[in-house]
Amino acid sequence: MIKEKKVKVYYIDEDIKGTCFLVQGEQEAILFDPGMAYYGETVVQRVKEILGTQPLRAVFLTHSHYDHVAALPYVRQAWPEIKAYAAEYACHIFEKTKAKQMMFHMSKTAAEESHHEWKSDDYKGELLYADKPLEDGDRIALGEFVVEVIETIGHTQCSVSFLINDEVMISSETIGLEGDFEGGYVPAFLISYKKTVDSLRRTREADPKQLYMPHRGLVIPDERYWKYMEKGLAATKDEIIRILASCPTTEEQILEMEEVFWKKAADGAWPREAFDMNAKAMLRTVAAEFPEELSKAKSIQK
């Protein structure tokens, strides 16, 4: 049976706490989230070193953010026939000129702030697109792999996770960042906390034997892990309510978000501008979804 075939998973850009995972079977491989544009050439080099003559069958994208997908043009140049799979909503985003311009801008900023050289003038942004739209519940058969699509909305509207051969999961960023029992939980529910809670439940119910998190790598999805993630998610929502209630201006709220969350996640590779955009989104989300809790917190502050 397909599920009995063992696979190897390589965290390709681990040294920058990136997002790129290579899943290698006995005769072929698939790639997940190629990662940062400035690291694209390195990703291609490392994948080729691992695969040798083995073919790379496909690329799967968990969502449309620049730090996950901007290296795709380099992958397409190395493997011209390759197909990229992404949620249907992500496919539409890749068609928007302004969205791709923002991805290029953030990629360039990330390279500068992390002191990585990147020949941005040579970047082929026209190769940043997805070929195959995905829906929740799809099971894509590719040679010795079966990739199940699990919709995990919360970080973005286009976030999906992937379960390979019913055992190995590449998770979306929706469930949170880090997942390090000592480093602290960092939230990522940009568009909906409530949908994030549901996505975390769906991720757990998929029952992966191995779980690979973006910006983190391999974690063991045991009971301790799930309780940690659930507790961290709830605690960060409460912390954001505190920030909204105690900081009267948006500027003060963002500074407090940076103090609480950005220092845990930052490692030189993610620009402050990107974090601040995400922070504003989470502040809006919590304010919209929990108006009664926020009102109560504000009354206590007075």
Q: Are 57 and 142 in contact (CB under 8 A)?
A: yes
For residue 98, what are the domain limits? Answer: 2-230
What backbone torsions phi and psi does residue 76 show, to the nearest 5 degrees? -65, -35
Query: Which stretches within 190-271 are classed as H helix?
Result: 193-205, 223-246, 250-257, 263-265
Q: What is the pLDDT of residues 54-82, one digit of tens each?
A: 999 999 999 999 999 999 999 999 999 99
3-state class (DSSP) for residue 95: coil
Q: What is the DSSP letter of 222?
A: S
189 is a domain residue: yes
Q: What is the pTM of this model?
A: 0.94
Number of domains within the chain: 1
**Looking at residue 97, which CATH number applies to its domain?**
3.60.15.10
Query: Has residue 299 been placed in a domain?
Result: no
Residues 200-217 pLDDT 10s: 999 999 999 999 999 989
With b for 16 or more beta-carbon neighbours within 10 A and e for fewer, the 132-164 pattern comes to eebeeebebebebbbbbbbbbbbbbbbbbbbbb
What's the CA gap between 63 and 65, in Å, rounded? 6
Instruction: Confirm whether 300 is domain-assigned.
Output: no
> Does 113 fall in a domain?
yes
Residue 169 located in a structural domain: yes
**Percentage of residues in the chain with pLDDT exceeding 90?**
83
Q: Residue 118 domain-assigned?
A: yes
